[in-house]
């Protein structure tokens, strides 16, 4: 074998060994890949408004079963099919309104997000002041405070009409449930639409 061929042979062996070493150093076994719980985060929650018994899903990064999910001091059992989603059911012992949902690793809070608990399906939410809501109507503001309406909706011209309970009624007085249902407003609707402009049109 000539010196030139011998040199080429040795160079090819060295390159093969280097290539093999690079490949082996770049290959990762699943055991070597570990998640850092300190980097867990919540990107969004679905649904954002839920009632007791609803399943809620948090989407984000590194959301594992080992994380603790809490609303206040209440710990919620949660499960994760992957490391991007944590699911739990909203319990029925929570106050209505805005709640803060947090994830913990041990005693350390890693991230939090707001969740709205609508309580029972009959709970009405509004941020209107009580003076804008009819007397006799109970509602909850978005901070979870229960309030009573203070507005006298039974004006003398209305006689003894009851609060509206369904759509398209003309023989009732508006309420927080049906604030836009009013006989006078319905009669004015065509005139209102003539004057309505959207984006200058």
Strand pairing of 74-76 and 68-71? antiparallel
Start-to-end CA span in the chain (Å): 90
Between residues 124 and 60, which one has the greater pLDDT? Answer: 60
Domain range 37-117, CATH class: mainly beta
Domain residue limits, the chain: 37-117, 130-195
Q: Summarize the confidence of residues 83-108 as an average pLDDT.
A: 89
Taking 90 as the threshold, does the pLDDT of residue 87 lie above it? Answer: yes
Give CA–CA dist 200/131, Å, rounded. 34
Q: Kindly report the average pLDDT of the chain as a whole number.
A: 74
Q: Is the pTM of this model over 0.75?
A: no
Name the 3-class secondary structure at 156.
helix
pLDDT of residue 103: 94
pLDDT in tens, 136-190: 777 777 777 778 888 877 553 445 567 676 666 666 766 666 665 445 555 555 5
pLDDT of residue 102: 94
Give CA–CA dist 183/181, Å, rounded. 7
pLDDT in tens, 42-51: 999 998 888 8
């Amino acid at each position: 074998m000539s010196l030139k061929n011998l040199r080429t042979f040795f160079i090819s062996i060295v390159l093969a060994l280097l290539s093999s070493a690079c490949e082996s150093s770049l290959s990762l076994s699943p055991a070597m890949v570990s998640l850092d719980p300190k980097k867990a985060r919540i990107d969004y929650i679905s649904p954002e408004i839920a009632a007791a018994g609803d399943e809620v899903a948090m989407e984000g990064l590194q959301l594992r079963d080992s994380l603790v999910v809490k609303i206040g001091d209440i710990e919620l059992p949660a499960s994760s099919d992957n490391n991007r989603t944590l699911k739990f059911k909203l319990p029925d012992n929570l106050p209505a309104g805005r709640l803060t949902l947090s994830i913990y690793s041990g005693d350390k809070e890693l991230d939090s997000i707001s969740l709205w608990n609508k309580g029972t399906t009959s709970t009405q939410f509004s941020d209107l002041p009580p003076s804008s809501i009819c007397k006799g109507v109970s509602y909850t503001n978005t901070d979870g405070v229960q309030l009573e309406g203070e507005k006298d909706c039974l004006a003398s011209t209305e006689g003894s009409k009851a609060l509206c309970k369904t759509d398209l009624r003309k023989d009732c007085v508006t309420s927080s449930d049906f604030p836009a249902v009013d006989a006078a407003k319905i009669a004015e609707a065509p005139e209102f639409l003539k004057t309505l402009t959207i984006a200058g049109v």
